A and B are shown apart, each in its own frame.
Chain A
Amino acid sequence: QKEVEQNSGPLSVPEGAIASLNCTYSDRGSQSFFWYRQYSGKSPELIMFIYSNGDKEDGRFTAQLNKASQYVSLLIRDSQPSDSATYLCAVKGGNTPLVFGKGTRLSVIA
């Protein structure tokens, strides 16, 4: 059974700080890694994906992947109150469906 582990939080950071969200996965065959943001009562929306080891930056977001350690992270720079949400890590291999973690709840304090 493929597993994706996340700290459920809540993770509280002050406005303007860097939020660091972490995720580990069990299946070494996993090939694609995703971060979704989910506001309360809403459906998940894709914010980042990464396939290769290293960093991938998109605006204030940076995804980091270390396949040897089976570890994925998401950094949010200059955190804003509007970033307060649950962040879901998801993993897939080839044509297999996404497997989600339980999510980390982020709270950005103004």
Chain B
Amino acid sequence: EAGVAQSPRYKIIEKRQSVAFWCNPISGHATLYWYQQILGQGPKLLIQFQNNGVVDDSQLPKDRFSAERLKGVDSTLKIQPAKLEDSAVYLCASSLVPGGHGYTFGSGTRLTVV
């Protein structure tokens, strides 16, 4: 089975610019997550989708971050405008069901804001 696909792998932008990340989950996985992992820390949930609906976005900085999962398959996470503290790895994960044990993570997008 193909894994979780993410792109781009790396991105460098200047502060105040905008950026978008893309994720394609494992086929058939209804639940999709975006996590932010700052260097030296564990992943922190930004948003959880169930099909094309948002289940949990309580930790998403909504003044600058947005995410969508049109048609309940692939998803896009956007940051506009970016700040220096947004430098992190953005990990997408999917699971078959919300309570499924463990997630499968994509390879992540490493964002550097300068």
Instruction: Judge if A60 is at the interface, Cβ distance under 8 Å.
Output: no
Q: Are B42 and A88 in contact (CB under 8 A)?
A: yes
Complex partner residue of B45 from A42, A43, A49, A97, CB under 8 angstroms:
A97
Min Cβ gap A89→B in Å is 8
Interface residues of B: mostly helix, strand, loop or mixed? loop
Report chain B residues within 8 Å CB of A101: 42
What is the interface of chain A mostly: helix, strand, loop, or mixed?
Answer: loop
Q: Which residues of A79-110 have CB atoms within 8 Å of chain B's CB atoms?
A: 88, 90, 92, 94-103
CB contact between B102 and one of A4, A49, A99 (< 8 Å): that residue: A49
How far apart sit A34 and B105, CA to CA, in the bound complex (Å)? 14
Question: In the assembled complex, how far is the CB of residue A5 from the closest CB belonging to chain B, in whole angstroms?
Answer: 11
Does A43 lie within 8 Å of B107, measured CB to CB?
Answer: yes
What is the interface residue range for chain A against chain B?
A: 20 to 34
Interface centre among A8, A46, A95 (most CB of B within 10 A): A95
User: A55 near B: Cβ within 8 Å?
Assistant: no
Q: Are A100 and B33 touching (Cβ within 8 A)?
A: no
- Of all chain B residues, which has the CB nearest A47? B102
Contact B41 A42 (CB under 8 A): no
**Per a CB cutoff under 8 Å, which of B40, B45, B48, B105 touches A44?**
B105
A24 to B111, CA, bound (A): 30
| Chain A residues close to B by CB (< 8 Å) | 4, 6, 8, 32, 34, 42-46, 49, 51, 88, 90, 92, 94-103
| B residues adjacent to A (C-beta < 8 A) | 33, 35, 40-45, 48, 56, 91, 98-99, 101-108
